[in-house]
């Protein structure tokens, strides 16, 4: 009887016990892990992936041609513990016949809850209030001190009414929002009907909204979408929330808009880079609150499942991700050339030298 040939699986980060147990159930797998909570250095990733049949990675790991070359011909499946696949060179991966798994939907509720909490924290100025309590700035009740902005009878604009955008609107509706606006590549009447949301252009959304939540994906067409022109159209009392990708926002322009009082406040779940340097200008502002992203166990479970399915020859989650991405990118660029809104809601950008969350 022939000895069973073990397939090497390389894991790019220390993962919870549930993930290690799930991988251990595959008797034909030999698992090697980068044993740290910090991102794996590029040289260590090249070393670790060499000869691997499977790779379990995170969004902070840029899997480009160099890494694929280092892996060699053995690599058959990549599973990423993320809902996005910005960090994967999908065209190159497709050329090599490597299966790709990712974890869509797992974080829809989590991200929507985080978006709402970030919006409420920002518009009610909670970080400022907490700081005033700590430093003795709270002396007595004052009618106009630290007044925030309420959702009741407000207009909320959502850039990207995909799964997460809808989940955010669903959670905000009970707060008494009067009107929902959304923008994207095209109207989505079936999805919008639940909230009686109106499809408008990006400039209209910027001008009419009291609260703006960016929930679109990052594509060449949406990169830098929220820039000086966008912020100049916003109300001075408007609150800006970004939970999509850092590069959708021109951060220099955002800083100027916040520092000059052109807009009221911003809450950022994502930045570029991540994390921001501690001396970044945005961190000097009281009216800007970068958040920290939280994850759930389901993300890991689905990533491990995708890896095991890919190795055993079953369909992985996104075997045709590159072709899907190309189709939507082409549509987005076409919309931009026609002067229409180029937002796409569920597809992501391929690997670049920048780190996205």
Kindly give, in sequence order, each residue whose CB lies less than 8 Å from that of residue 247, ignoring residues fewer than 6 positions away.
218, 223, 224, 272, 354, 356
- pLDDT string in tens for the chain (357-residue length): 455 568 899 999 998 888 778 887 776 788 899 999 999 999 999 999 999 999 999 988 999 999 999 999 999 999 998 877 878 999 999 999 999 988 877 788 989 999 999 999 999 988 888 888 899 998 888 888 888 899 999 999 999 999 999 999 999 999 999 999 999 989 999 999 999 999 999 999 999 999 999 999 888 889 999 999 999 999 999 999 999 999 999 999 999 999 999 999 999 999 999 889 999 999 999 999 876 554 444 455 555 555 555 554 433 333 333 333 333 333 333 333 334 443 433 333 445 433 333
Q: Using the Cα atoms of residue 187, residue 193, residue 195 and residue 197 in order, give the sign of their dihedral.
A: positive
pLDDT for residue 337:
37
Copy the structure tokens of residue 302: 């689905």
pLDDT for residue 255:
97
């Amino acid at each position: 009887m022939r000895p069973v040939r073990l397939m090497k699986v390389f894991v790019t980060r220390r993962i919870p016990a549930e993930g290690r147990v799930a991988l251990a159930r595959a008797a034909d797998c030999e698992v090697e892990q980068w044993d740290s909570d910090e991102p794996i250095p590029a040289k260590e990733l090249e070393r670790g992936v060499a000869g691997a049949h499977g790779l379990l990675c995170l969004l902070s790991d840029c899997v480009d041609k160099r890494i694929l070359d280092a892996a060699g011909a053995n690599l058959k499946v990549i599973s990423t513990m993320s809902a996005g696949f910005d960090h994967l060179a999908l065209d190159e991966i497709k050329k090599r016949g490597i299966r790709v798994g990712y974890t869509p939907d797992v974080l829809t509720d989590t991200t929507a809850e985080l978006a709402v909490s970030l919006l409420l924290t920002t518009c009610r100025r909670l970080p400022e209030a907490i700081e005033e309590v700590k430093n003795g700035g709270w002396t007595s009740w004052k009618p106009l001190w630290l007044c925030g902005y309420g959702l009741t009878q407000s207009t909320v604009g959502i850039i990207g009414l995909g799964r997460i955008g809808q989940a955010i609107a669903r959670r905000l509706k009970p707060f008494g929002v009067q009107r929902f606006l959304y923008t994207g590549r095209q109207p989505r009447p079936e999805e919008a009907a639940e909230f009686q949301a109106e499809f408008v252009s990006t400039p209209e959304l910027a001008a009419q909204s009291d609260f703006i939540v960016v929930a679109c994906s990052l594509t060449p067409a949406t990169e830098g979408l929220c820039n000086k022109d966008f912020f100049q159209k916003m109300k001075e009392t408007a609150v800006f929330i970004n939970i999509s990708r850092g590069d959708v926002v021109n951060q220099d322009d955002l800083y100027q808009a916040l520092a000059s009082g052109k807009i009221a406040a911003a809450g950022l779940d994502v930045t570029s880079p991540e994390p921001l340097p501690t001396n970044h200008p945005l961190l000097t502002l009281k009216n800007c609150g970068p958040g920290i992203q939280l994850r759930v166990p389901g993300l890991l479970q689905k990533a491990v499942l995708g890896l095991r399915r890919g190795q055993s020859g079953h369909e992985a989650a996104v075997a045709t991700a590159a072709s899907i991405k190309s189709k939507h990118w082409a549509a987005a660029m076409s919309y931009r050339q026609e002067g229409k809104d180029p937002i796409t809601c569920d597809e992501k950008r391929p690997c670049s030298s920048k780190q996205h969350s």
